[in-house]
Amino acid sequence: MKETHTVLDALAPAVPPTPQVPLAALLAREDLGLRQIAGPDDPGIVIHWAHASEMADPYPYLLGGELLLTAGAHVPGAAGSGTGPDDYFDGYVSRIVAAGGAALGFGLAPVHDTVPRALAAACDARALPLLEVPPRTTFSGVARAVWQLMAQARLAELRRVTEAQQSLASAASRPDPVPAVLRRLAQRLGGRAALYGPDGAQVAAAGREAPQEVRTALAALAGVVRPTVAQAPSSATDSVRGTHLAVYALGAGQGFVLGVATERREPGDHTIASVAAVLLSLLTGEHLSDAGAARSSALVRLLLGAPPEDVAPLLGADRWVVVHARPEGRAPDAVAASALGAALGSALVDLADGVVRILVPADREPAARSGWTLGVSAPVTPDDWPAADTQAARALTRARATRTALVRHGGRPGLADLVPPGEAESHARALLGPVGAHPALTETLRTWLSLHGSWDRTAVALSVHRNTVRQRIARCATLLDADLDDPDVRMELWFALRNR
């Protein structure tokens, strides 16, 4: 039967918010000389602090998770004879277990020389670890040892959380930030991390493969914190078949949810997962804002036929650059495209045919991004967006061919500006007519000339074999009846291709 807990639930008393200490670590302290004489010998048993009490009924004074220390002053004088003492110890131990006590320490001297057998039997029956505390060891010494172990645990956990935060921040700066953050989170927590979209579908996941029942429960729990639910909490927890589940809503009203499934739940896990949730909110979210509303309005106006220059004021800039980008060694996905747009300072992102296109305000100078190859147009006004798109595409082709992280389209005036555009276009049509009906030949010629006749770089840029490049260039030379080794011919062809 699955047991559900959310941030609003309080189905069982919680242990104190202190670092847990393995009982085995306390038993290993030679200076204490503690010895377990009854109860389960489980290395997973932990305590949260030590508390000394001689009350016959310690239940009202326990919070849970304690190592309760007693010298047995409360034990009736008839202890160890007949059924009375057995009933007494059974009731005493049962109250400790009901209060959530983690273990019982019984001190020898000055009241008792040995641990009552009936007490050991009751601890065995109730599965409560029973420790024998030798006369030389004071209860305050045991408590001090617990606090020392807690301090060590707290320092270790703080170090773990700090390293995890740094690791997650580093992952967020990678070219594939969302998958990288999920992978790093799953590694740090030793489990599985998943990102769910506003429609409830899993967008990405990383870490250990979980059973179908766990995956289904985690997806269902994500619905608890989705903003479509009235008064949805920001996080929720659950457990199924010994697996701890936790979900976190990303941002305000985004609809994205981070889900985590782990076999163990350490004190710092919530902090680590919360840091990942904040990073993922920044990477994935398109927040509801005035800027978002303006972009929606601009899109509607463009679809209804408004000129780009009339729409540009809604987008907050008069001059723009177009960026074409491709990641290294893989096809881009929507999440990575959105993250790249955020890194370049723009939410105007398009993903098609394996290329990410981003419209960036000219005052936000695009910089090279690790793991990406970028082509950047010259700054233009909205009426020249199509031309800038072509410039960015050619810059990206050149960047990939030269294995350069970022190539910008040259914006300086040249000799081509001295020829009227109409005459330049007519000249280009006439000169390139023989190859104009063959787009593959035209594009190969353009790329080959832009790369100074390099067969290998042209092959890389066009994703074809270098022999294919040679065959196409030879075909161009034949159709154009021109010597492509002549620099004057190359210059004239390049001029024509730029104005075609």
Domain spanning 415-499: which superfamily? PucR C-terminal helix-turn-helix domain (1.10.10.2840)
Lowest mean pLDDT among 24-38, 105-119, 322-336, 372-386: 322-336
Query: What pLDDT is attached to residue 161?
Result: 86
How confident is residue 81, by pLDDT bands cut at 50, 70 and 90? Answer: very low
Q: Are 320 and 385 within 8 A, CB to CB?
A: yes
Whether pLDDT at 219 is above 60: yes
Domain boundaries 3-147, corresponding CATH code: 3.40.1390.20
Domain with residues 173-284, CATH architecture:
2-Layer Sandwich (3.30)
pLDDT in tens, 409-438: 875 545 555 566 677 778 778 888 888 888
Phi/psi at 308 (nearest 5 deg)? Answer: -55, -40
- For position 102, what pLDDT does the model report? 96
Integer Cα distance of 244 and 264 in angstroms: 7
Q: Is the pLDDT of residue 462 over 80?
A: yes
pLDDT reported for residue 294: 67
* 323-355: pLDDT as tens digits: 999 988 777 777 778 778 877 877 788 888 889
pLDDT (tens digit per residue) in 204-214? 889 988 889 99
Q: Could you count the other beta carbons within 10 Å of the beta carbon of residue 449?
A: 18
pLDDT tens-digit map of 246-269: 999 886 556 788 999 998 887 788
pLDDT, greater one: 36 or 452: 36
Q: How confident is the model at residue 292 (pLDDT cuts 50, 70, 90)?
A: low
Percent pLDDT > 70 in the chain is 86
Q: Is the pLDDT of residue 291 over 80?
A: no
- Please state, in angstroms and rounded to a whole number, the distance separating the CA atoms of residues 380 and 378: 6
